[in-house]
Amino acid sequence: MYDYLIVGAGLFGCVFAHEATKKGKKCLVIDKRDHVGGNVYCENVDGINVHKYGAHIFHTNDKAIWDYVNQFAAFNNYVNSPVSISKGKLYNLPFNMNTFYQLWGTKTPEEAKTIIESQIKEFGSKNPENLEEQALSLIGKDVYETLIKEYTEKQWGKKATELPAFIIKRLPVRYTFNNNYFNDAYQGIPIGGYNKIIDGLLKGIDIKTNVDFFKDKDELSSMAKKIVFTGKIDEFYNYKYGNLEYRSLRFENTKLNTENLQGNAVVNYNDSKVPYTRIIEHKHFEFGKQKHTVITKEFSEQWTPEKEAYYPINNDENQKKYQAYKELSLQEPHVIFGGRLAEYKYYDMHQIIASALQKTKKEFN
């Protein structure tokens, strides 16, 4: 008999399993995929770590979380500085003095601020209620129309006026020439890839891949005293309040006999007529010197049950539904829900780890 059956071998499940094992508990981790690691899993393609389920760049402001991941792998000093192509021109991200120079030719913070503040004034002083209003009130219409609107609508498959405001607050706005996409104090890519962290977390723990929890729910549940569930919460409850909406992704990978195709790990494509949102050139995450390269075109797609659910769509309607599921989940004495899908939350990796550590603390103290 196991103490915990952990459904899903992503970061949440792996951190929980690791901490529980340290406390002397016996865990079984299952995953329906043929590998562990969830969406941070990397596939080695001729010496290049390919982020198979989308680019993952680790960043955090929390020293304890940084120390935690560094137990399992050393990190390189990669700093994410994506660029975006809009109507044939290239712009630096996040929105900073380089971007403003490329847009308007402004050379000082004061010049840029004058333009941005006058555009923000055009929006007025009302409280932003959706992503479009949030962007207009934060950065004005030129940046919104050049670098946000079409990318966002392609990414989410919804009008920017139908999306929650918080999504755009992920991106910094700076009046310095600083192209670092994140404001956090710690950032990097694990040397040797994310699989090294996952393997470290799961060392000595029983694992079963290619196991679908829902196909064998009763039998699997009977193997442990408690369940840690990291899958979709609506699926756990058999969609009784209807299904939550997700956004899915499709990745098109190509190996090329070119040393350096785009000069950067991440290039975003803003224009709606370009069918993909970004091209990832994986070797640049690890400063690769190979003679070849692997690129991934990322297409955003409507989610259907046979596809992977990548992003929760946290608009009011979905949040209301999620709350109903959450109420049910709070009444489960033997199930712990955690992670992006079970909490229906747009978590980053460092937030998932923090949340898993918090839940283990609660469980074992």
Residues acting as catalytic residues: 170, 174, 247, 278, 298, 346, 348
Distance between CA atoms of residues 159 and 298, nearest Å? 20
Minimum distance, C-beta of residue 228 to ligand UDP, in the bound complex (Å):
24
Of 66 and 269, the one with the shorter C-beta distance to ligand UDP is 269
Helix (H) or strand (E) holding 44: strand 42-45
Residue closer to ligand UDP by CB (options 172, 200) is 172
Sheet strands side by side (includes 2-7): 206-208, 27-30, 2-7, 224-229, 335-337
Closest CB 64 distance from ligand UDP, rounded Å = 23
Interface residue with ligand UDP among 168, 198, 224, 280 (CB under 6 A) is 168
Which of 84, 146, 230, 318 binds ligand UDP (CB under 6 A)? It is 84
Q: Toward ligand UDP, which CB reaches closer, 81 or 270? A: 270
Q: How far is the CB of 171 from ligand UDP (least distance, A)?
A: 5
The least CB distance from residue 215 to ligand UDP, in Å, is 30
Q: How far apart are alpha carbons 97 and 271 in whole angstroms? A: 22
List the one residue from 22, 63, 170, 203 that touches ligand UDP (CB under 6 A).
Answer: 170
Residues whose CB is less than 8 angstroms from the CB of residue 146 and which lie 6 or more positions away in sequence, other chains included: 86, 87, 91, 103, 270
CA distances to 202, 282, 327, 339 from 39, rounded to whole Å, are: 16, 15, 27, 12
Interaction residues for ligand UDP, span 270-309 (CB under 6 A): 270
Query: What is the tally of helices (H) and strands (E) in the chain?
Result: 12, 16
Residue owning tokens 């529980």: 20
Which CB sits closer to ligand UDP, 108 or 183? 183
* Backbone φ and ψ of 248, nearest 5°: -110, 170
The CB-of-252 to ligand UDP minimum distance in angstroms stands at 17
Alpha-carbon gap, residue 177 to 97, rounded angstroms: 5
Work out how close the CB of 259 gets to ligand UDP at its nearest, in angstroms, rounded to a whole number. Answer: 26
Q: Which is nearer to ligand UDP, 93 or 336 (CB)?
A: 93
**Distance, first Cα to last Cα, the chain:** 22
Candidates 23-31, 71-79, 146-154, 253-261; binding stretch for ligand UDP (CB under 6 A): 146-154
Contact residue for ligand UDP among 148, 244, 313, 336 (CB under 6 A): 148
Interaction residues for ligand UDP, span 16-55 (CB under 6 A): none
Residue closer to ligand UDP (CB basis): 152 or 318 = 152
Say whether residue 136 binds ligand UDP (CB under 6 A): no
In angstroms, rounded to a whole number, what is the distance separating the alpha carbons of residues 299 and 275?
7
Query: Distance between CA atoms of 102 and 100, rounded to whole angstroms?
Result: 5
User: Could you tell me which residues are beta bridge partners of residue 256?
Assistant: 293
Q: Which stretch binds ligand UDP (CB under 6 A): 32-40, 163-171, 287-295, 357-365?
A: 163-171
The answer to the question of residue 146 lying near ligand UDP (CB under 6 A) is: no
With beta carbons less than 8 A apart as the criterion, state whether 335 and 274 touch.
Answer: no
Question: DSSP characters for 85-132?
Answer: EETTEEEESSBSHHHHHHHH---SHHHHHHHHHHHHHHH-SSPP-SHH
Site for ligand UDP contains 92 (CB under 6 A): no
Interaction between residue 147 and ligand UDP (CB under 6 A):
yes
Q: Does 268 bind ligand UDP (CB under 6 A)?
A: yes
Binding residues for ligand UDP, per CB under 6 A?
A: 84, 93, 147-148, 151-152, 155, 167-168, 170-171, 268, 270
